[in-house]
Amino acid sequence: MKIIDLSLPIDDTAFEVHKVSIERVGHKPGVAKFNRVIMGKTILGRIKYLLGQRILKKEDLPDGEFLSLETVHSPVHIGTHLDYSYHYGSLSEGRPAKTSDEIPLEYCYQDGVKLDFSHKKPADLIKDSDVKEALDKINYKLKPLDIVLFFTGADKLFGSAKYFSDYPGVDPSAIDYLLSQGVKIFGVDTMGIDRPYRFMLTEFLKTKNPRALYPAHFYGRKKEFIHIERLANLQKLPDYGFKISCLPVRIRNTGAAWARVIALLE
């Protein structure tokens, strides 16, 4: 079996719109942090710590090293992740929207199919007619629970500002068609499923039409769906004949959750 990683990292060196930081405590500084944290849990312990006492010294440890510790400060929409209905609005299909920890896991390990939209330009929309045409080209008929991946090639821009400005968006008609075929999850190798901010905001400021803003995301208020953002390496996949695993990290009450998305090929 061959495994292909379809995920992007949470990377504190990459260009991001939202702030991402990773606090890294190394092995030797970890000794000091351990004392500070453990002794700081009581007033007496804090006083002893300030007076220079320590409950653990580097001499007590192999190689004078403790354990490393990394603390990630990041929105759940950084890195490859799954969005669920709570992200789109408080209600979906007239019911309270569901959070990422409620994503049915049986949806997350299914047959995958890749549709090629690499010819689409920034600000273009991928519509239902485009999806049908792409399926016809590979002679594939969707079945319920297929995980559909939209390949645009935009992942090659990750780390730069262009990653947020140069990619096509998904039209609600395409989402509606996928749902009509029993698809529960689809994914994109772009920053988001809607067109880049610069195109949506320009249209909104010009027309004052609120429908210009996040139509694909807001469609999730009308019909429930799950989608994956920030996929990568889709060019390494065949058109179909593989499994997708996109199990979300279990985080309570969030509209999205990180996932290590992989493809499994026999």
Round to whole Å and give the CA distance between 219 and 146.
20
* Same domain for 35 and 155: no
pLDDT in tens, 168-208: 999 999 999 999 999 999 999 999 999 999 999 999 999 99
SS3 percent helix, strand, coil of the chain, rounded to 5, is: 35, 25, 45
* Same domain for 84 and 66: no
* Same domain for 51 and 82: no
* Same domain for 132 and 10: yes
pLDDT in tens, 92-141: 999 999 999 999 999 999 999 999 999 999 989 999 999 999 999 999 99
Residue 167 vs residues 162, 186, 190: alpha-carbon distances, Å: 9, 17, 6
CB 95 within 8 A of CB 50: no
* Same domain for 169 and 132: yes
CB 161 within 8 A of CB 117: no
Q: What is the CATH number of the domain that holds 207?
A: 3.50.30.50
Residue 245: which pLDDT band, with cuts at 50, 70 and 90? very high
Locate 99 and state its tokens. 């959070």
* Same domain for 127 and 28: no
Query: Helices 172-180 and 215-222: crossing angle, nearest 10°?
Result: 40
Q: Tell me if the pTM is above 0.85.
A: yes
Domain extent for 27: 21-72
* Same domain for 58 and 83: no
* Same domain for 111 and 211: yes
* Same domain for 244 and 202: yes
Counting the structural domains of the chain, the total is: 2
Looking at 72, 87, 115, the residue that finishes a domain is: 72
Round to whole Å and give the CA distance between 38 and 33.
8
Looking at 29, 55, 72, the residue that finishes a domain is: 72
* Same domain for 199 and 84: yes
CB 147 within 8 A of CB 187: yes
Round to whole Å and give the CA distance between 247 and 260.
7
Looking at 72, 92, 109, the residue that finishes a domain is: 72
At residue 87, the 3 state secondary structure works out as helix
pLDDT in tens, 49-108: 899 999 889 888 899 899 999 999 999 999 999 999 999 999 999 999 999 999 999 999
pLDDT of the residue at 195:
96
* Same domain for 164 and 33: no
The DSSP code sequence of 164-183 is: GTS--EE-HHHHHHHHHTT-
* Same domain for 87 and 62: no
123's CB contacts (< 8 A; 6+ apart) are: 168, 169, 195, 196, 199
